[in-house]
Structure 1
Amino acid sequence: MLTQLTIHNFAIVRFLELDLRDGMTCVTGETGAGKSIAIDALGLCLGERADAGMLRYGAEKAEVIARFNIEKNIHAQQWLQANELDTQDECILRRIVTQEGRSRAYINGTPVPLNQLKQLGNTLINIHGQHAHQLLLKPEYQLAVLDAYANHQGLLELTRQHYQNWRSLHAERQRLRQAQEQRQARLQLLEYQVHELDEFALQPNEFIEIEAEHTRLANSESLRNDSHYCLQQLHDGDDVTISVLMKNVLDKLSPLSEFDPHLKNVMQMLQDAQIQIEESHYELRSYLDNLDLDPSRFVEVETRLSKIMELARKHHVRPEELAEKHRLLRQELTELSAADERLQELATALHNAREDYLAAANKLSASRQRYAAELSQQITGQISQLNMPDGRLEIVFHPQETPTPTALGLDIPEFQVSTNPGQPLQGLAKVASGGELSRISLAIQVITAQRVATPTLIFDEVDVGISGGTASIVGKMLRKLGQSTQVLVVTHLPQVAGHGHQQYLVAKQTDGQQTETSMKLLDTETRLQELARLLGGDQITSNTLANARELLISG
């Protein structure tokens, strides 16, 4: 349950701290005093959209903190554990909004994204707004009411999953079909391109290798002649060679190094150089002996290299990228060739996905039919107590020749009502007046609230259009509901407020420059005064006080 609500600089609230109790708590006040501000602030703390207009004029930030006792709230405890957030008997939600419209959210002191605040909020509070009777005219809201009453979360999720799978497969098939004509043209081009490249059979890295070979063959004469010249200069020549010169130098230097040890390092370096020269001579000799510079091979290499260059230009890639381009084209051809096969696979998959969806949706529909009869009976019983003794409500489903799959199933419900004896059932919008619609809506909200596993229920002026003896019955209904759960009621009706276990008064003060809203818990005497004001306006008389006392006692 909600134990405390603290509000800083929200709307016209400078600072407000409410300590809340269990049972039924009523909030009253003059029109325009800001009775719903606390509910709006709480909505912000539960993840509603934030903007800078929520800040009190001149404030740098607004802050709302809501404390909950979750000792008996298993759903909230499980959610906190699943999301690795601190789990104790108390849960604290906090929301901050800045002048720039930015907001930050916290759960038990840990920063969290807004969607987590919303998810946890759904396990803590259920808010019934003053416009619920207008929403009741919409088929999607009627369906949501029925599903909430029947606790269809599991069936809805299963239906949604099968629908998403079917829809995904359906979209893929549509894409393949739309692209089929273009695919055929592309397929023909790819078959030609891949066939041409397959015949050429260029291997990875072949261009680098063949380019190197072409360079070598193109310079065959220089390689042979100049290598032979170098071999002659090193060792094989008839004239003085490098080997002979090196030997002469060593012969001269060797005795000198005996006279002066400083020359030994020079001797060592020259000896190493002599060894390197000899090895170079052997390597160069071996190279010339094995040099294969076949002119016919040069023609082959040049022809293949020219073809590589031609194909590379044709496919708008560099020559070294041609092999990779070949691989990609072959891969695309394989995928396109498999598209027809995929279409056949999709036909089977779609059929199976639709069957799975229909099985889940039909199971959901059957459950809706069962609970629709039960809910219709309960609503009829409740509205008969709300000064509609001959009222009757029935939830019907309109059959469809070809049902269109949706994430919510296949059902289109309609809440039909008869308000007078002998009157046929018709849609709410055609039959119910504003006051009747309010009473029907309130009856539905009270019934569904008893089925929803949230420990705190808020009714924000849901008694609009209700008065007199009907209002007293509404008060009794909400008080009874407050015996099993915490109920907060924003109301303008004394007959409802008199049934609360406790009552807050919202008042607005101004000094001519700034306006401020406050809320205070009323004791018995001040509560009588407020009920008398609600009954008779600003002129409180002994009669209105007496009537207020009767309302409070009856509560």
Structure 2
Amino acid sequence: MLLQLSVRQFAIVQALDIDFRGGMTAITGETGAGKSIAIDALGLCLGERAEASMVRSGADKAEITACFALGNLNGAQAWLREQELDGEDECIIRRVISAEGRSKAYINGVPVSLAQLKALGVHLIGIHGQHAHQQLLKADMQRKLLDDYAAHPQLLKQVSDIHKRLQASRQQYQSLLENQEQREARRQLLEYQVVELNDFAIEEGEFEILEAEHKRLSNSQSLLEQSQLSFHQLYEGDDFNALSIIQHALDRMSELQEHDPALSPIVELLNEASIQVEEASTQLRDYIEGLEIDPMRMQKVEQRYSRALELSRKHQVLPEGLYTHHQTLLSEFDDLQQDDNKLDELRAELNSLSLEYADTAKALSVSRLEAADRLSSEVETQIRLMNMSQAKFQFEVCFDEHLPQSKLGQDQIRILVSTNPGQPADTLEKVASGGELSRIGLALQVIASEHQKIPTMIFDEVDTGISGPTAAVVGQLLRRLGEKAQVLCVTHLPQVAACAHHQMLVTKFSDGNTTETHMMALEQEQRVEELARLLAGDKLTQKALDNAREMLSLD
């Protein structure tokens, strides 16, 4: 719950330090005194937008600090741990606003974003403003109130998750469907090209091997003739061959080196040359013996080589890239085939998801319908105590499978009210007056707050348009809520203030140049005087004081 609020240089507040207690606390004061300033300051701690006009005139910055006891607030504690903001027993939120309108936010001394403030705030405080009743006229607010009361977040999440998957599948299916004609034309072209390349079935690196063999076979006769001639000149010629000439020279030089050692290197070179020529001749003979002129092989290689060149020109790729091109077309063709199969799969998936969505949305509708009956009964009981004794109230939940599928289900939800006997039930905006709307809205807020289990709830002049005995009932309603949680209520009604466990007075002072607002906790006798002022105005009478004591049961 909220333990303390410190406000510096905010609006018409120079310095304000307030300690809060559990139960219901009424905040009263004269009109224009600034009763809602503390609420506005708390709103900034919960992530509301800051403006330069919020800084007190003449000050360079405004600063608001709120301290909360976490106690058994498991949600807040878990969130703080997840964000590594270290909070177990207490949490301190600070907001600083410069005179230029820039702001900074801190949780437990660590700088944070406004989104983080808002995310933490939902675990700490619920604020119900004086214009909240008008929001009740909106269908979204009526649905939210019912869903909050029903407390079925898991069902809401299931519907939302299935709807998200359904939307994604539907978009994918639509995209494939829209491009089906172009894909079919491309698939037919690819099918012809792939079949053609499949029939040829060139292997990786095959063209390079094929090209080399084609060159060799195309020149096989010349290779044979020239190789045979070279072998004859090197080794086999009877009258003349290179090996015999080198050997004769080697023999002569070997004899002459005995007379001149300078010939020894030449002898070594001739000896090596003899060995090299003999080895070359041996390998050339083996080459000649292995060289075959095979017209059938030549024809086969010629045909495959020519076909490879033809396909490469046809597909506008280099012959060396024909294999890679074939694999690319195969992959694209398979993808297109899979897209066609994917259409069938998506069609089946959409049917399955639609059925799953319908079942889950129906389950959500049933849960809403059950909660609607309970909430309608509770609200009707409360508003009948608020001088609407003949009123009838009903949350109408209509499931319509023909409505567009949404993440919130397929329910039409509206509040129907009849305020007078014989009057047919109709929507709030058509039936309820301003005062009646205030009473219905307040009953809904209080009942919903009881079920949401928010530790601190603030009601900012939500009793506007209510008076007399009805105000006493409202006060008792808020006090009952204060027995379970901390309730802060800004009010101008003595009947409501008298029901509070505690009371604070807001006052405003001006010296003609500056204006300041102060807030102080009232003791019991001070409460009597403040209630008497609310009853009788500025001039306190004994009758008003006695009436105030009676309201506080202090006689």
Q: How high is the TM-score relative to the length of structure 2?
A: 0.76
The answer to whether the Cα contact below 8 Å between 2:142 and 2:413 also exists between their aligned partners in 1 is yes
- Deviation (angstroms), 1:182: 3.3
The answer to whether the Cα contact below 8 Å between 1:204 and 1:323 also exists between their aligned partners in 2 is no
Please give the residue correspondences for 1:475-514 in structure 2 after superposition, counting only pairs within 5 Å: 475-506=475-506
The answer to whether the Cα contact below 8 Å between 1:42 and 1:66 also exists between their aligned partners in 2 is yes
Q: 1:126 to 1:208 in 2, by over 3 A?
A: farther
- Deviation (angstroms), 1:499: 3.1
Q: Deviations over 1:81-126 (max 9, x none)?
A: 5666535222334556678977665544556665554444322222
The answer to whether the Cα contact below 8 Å between 1:391 and 1:417 also exists between their aligned partners in 2 is yes
Q: Deviations over 1:62-85 (max 9, x none)?
A: 654432212222333444456665
Provide the rounded CA distance (Å) in 1 between the counterparts of 2:276 and 2:59: 87
Q: 1:120 to 1:220 in 2, by over 3 A?
A: farther
Which residue in 2 is equivalent to 1:136? Answer: 136
Which residue in 2 is equivalent to 1:553? Answer: 552
Q: How high is the TM-score relative to the length of structure 1?
A: 0.76
- Deviation (angstroms), 1:393: 0.9
Which residue in 1 is equivalent to 2:195? Answer: 195
- The AA in structure 1 aligned to 2:127 is I
- Deviation (angstroms), 1:430: 0.9
Which residue in 1 is equivalent to 2:462? Answer: 462
- The AA in structure 1 aligned to 2:446 is V
The answer to whether the Cα contact below 8 Å between 1:75 and 1:123 also exists between their aligned partners in 2 is yes
Find the residue that maps to 2:171 and give its secondary structure. Answer: helix
Which residue in 2 is equivalent to 1:350? Answer: 350
Provide the rounded CA distance (Å) in 1 between the counterparts of 2:224 and 2:543: 126
Are 1:159 and 2:147 an aligned pair? no
Q: Deviations over 1:300-349 (max 9, x none)?
A: 5753553464255379x976852452243233233234245325xx23x3
Provide the rounded CA distance (Å) in 2 between the counterparts of 1:351 and 1:76: 41
Provide the rounded CA distance (Å) in 1 between the counterparts of 2:315 and 2:99: 60
Provide the rounded CA distance (Å) in 1 between the counterparts of 2:65 and 2:287: 87
Which residue in 2 is equivalent to 1:186? Answer: 186
- The AA in structure 2 aligned to 1:448 is A
Are 1:522 and 2:521 an aligned pair? yes
The answer to whether the Cα contact below 8 Å between 2:210 and 2:301 also exists between their aligned partners in 1 is no
Which residue in 2 is equivalent to 1:329? Answer: 332
* Mean Cα deviation higher: 28-37 or 183-192: 28-37
Provide the rounded CA distance (Å) in 2 between the counterparts of 1:100 and 1:287: 95
Alignment equivalent of 1:313, drawn from 311, 316, 335: 316
- The AA in structure 1 aligned to 2:345 is R
Provide the rounded CA distance (Å) in 2 between the counterparts of 1:534 and 1:487: 21
* Equivalent residue pairs, number: 537
Unaligned runs of 5+ in 2: 255-274
- Deviation (angstroms), 1:385: 1.5
- Deviation (angstroms), 1:487: 0.5
- Deviation (angstroms), 1:26: 2.6
- The AA in structure 2 aligned to 1:501 is H
The answer to whether the Cα contact below 8 Å between 1:166 and 1:350 also exists between their aligned partners in 2 is yes
Q: Deviations over 1:263-292 (max 9, x none)?
A: xxxxxxxxxxxx999999999999999899
- Deviation (angstroms), 1:434: 0.7
Are 1:72 and 2:75 an aligned pair? no
- Deviation (angstroms), 1:43: 3.2
Provide the rounded CA distance (Å) in 2 between the counterparts of 1:481 and 1:435: 22
Provide the rounded CA distance (Å) in 1 between the counterparts of 2:29 and 2:280: 108
The answer to whether the Cα contact below 8 Å between 1:10 and 1:54 also exists between their aligned partners in 2 is no
Which residue in 2 is equivalent to 1:271? Answer: none
Q: 1:40 to 1:230 in 2, by over 3 A?
A: farther
Provide the rounded CA distance (Å) in 1 between the counterparts of 2:224 and 2:39: 97
Provide the rounded CA distance (Å) in 1 between the counterparts of 2:169 and 2:419: 47
Find the residue that maps to 2:377 and give its secondary structure. Answer: helix
The answer to whether the Cα contact below 8 Å between 1:155 and 1:360 also exists between their aligned partners in 2 is yes
Q: Deviations over 1:369-426 (max 9, x none)?
A: 2222221121111111212222221222346473543322232122111112222222
Q: Deviations over 1:414-449 (max 9, x none)?
A: 211111222222211111001110011001111111
Q: 1:186 to 1:304 in 2, by over 3 A?
A: closer
Find the residue that maps to 2:134 and give its secondary structure. Answer: helix
Which residue in 1 is equivalent to 2:272? Answer: none
Provide the rounded CA distance (Å) in 2 between the counterparts of 1:59 and 1:225: 109
The answer to whether the Cα contact below 8 Å between 1:207 and 1:308 also exists between their aligned partners in 2 is no
Matched residues, percent identical? 44
Provide the rounded CA distance (Å) in 2 between the counterparts of 1:281 and 1:516: 119
- The AA in structure 2 aligned to 1:332 is D
Provide the rounded CA distance (Å) in 1 between the counterparts of 2:533 and 2:541: 12
- Deviation (angstroms), 1:526: 5.7
- The AA in structure 2 aligned to 1:89 is D
Provide the rounded CA distance (Å) in 1 between the counterparts of 2:389 and 2:117: 43
Which residue in 2 is equivalent to 1:338? Answer: 341
Which residue in 2 is equivalent to 1:257? Answer: none
Which residue in 2 is equivalent to 1:438? Answer: 438
- Deviation (angstroms), 1:358: 2.7
Q: Deviations over 1:429-474 (max 9, x none)?
A: 1110011100110011111111112211111221222233322322
- Deviation (angstroms), 1:25: 1.9
- Deviation (angstroms), 1:488: 1.3
Which residue in 2 is equivalent to 1:360? Answer: 360
The answer to whether the Cα contact below 8 Å between 1:203 and 1:323 also exists between their aligned partners in 2 is no
* Mean Cα deviation higher: 59-68 or 375-384: 59-68
Provide the rounded CA distance (Å) in 1 between the counterparts of 2:449 and 2:337: 58
Find the residue that maps to 2:411 and give its secondary structure. Answer: coil
The answer to whether the Cα contact below 8 Å between 1:498 and 1:551 also exists between their aligned partners in 2 is no
Which residue in 2 is equivalent to 1:255? Answer: none
Structure with bigger gyration radius: 2
The answer to whether the Cα contact below 8 Å between 2:52 and 2:97 also exists between their aligned partners in 1 is no
The answer to whether the Cα contact below 8 Å between 2:55 and 2:97 also exists between their aligned partners in 1 is no
The answer to whether the Cα contact below 8 Å between 1:211 and 1:305 also exists between their aligned partners in 2 is no
Which residue in 1 is equivalent to 2:415? Answer: 415
Find the residue that maps to 1:397 and give its secondary structure. Answer: strand
- The AA in structure 1 aligned to 2:338 is E
- The AA in structure 1 aligned to 2:359 is A
Q: 1:499 to 1:295 in 2, by over 3 A?
A: same
* Mean Cα deviation higher: 164-173 or 525-534: 525-534
The answer to whether the Cα contact below 8 Å between 2:214 and 2:302 also exists between their aligned partners in 1 is no
Q: Give the CA RMSD over aligned residues.
A: 5.2
Provide the rounded CA distance (Å) in 1 between the counterparts of 2:235 and 2:37: 105
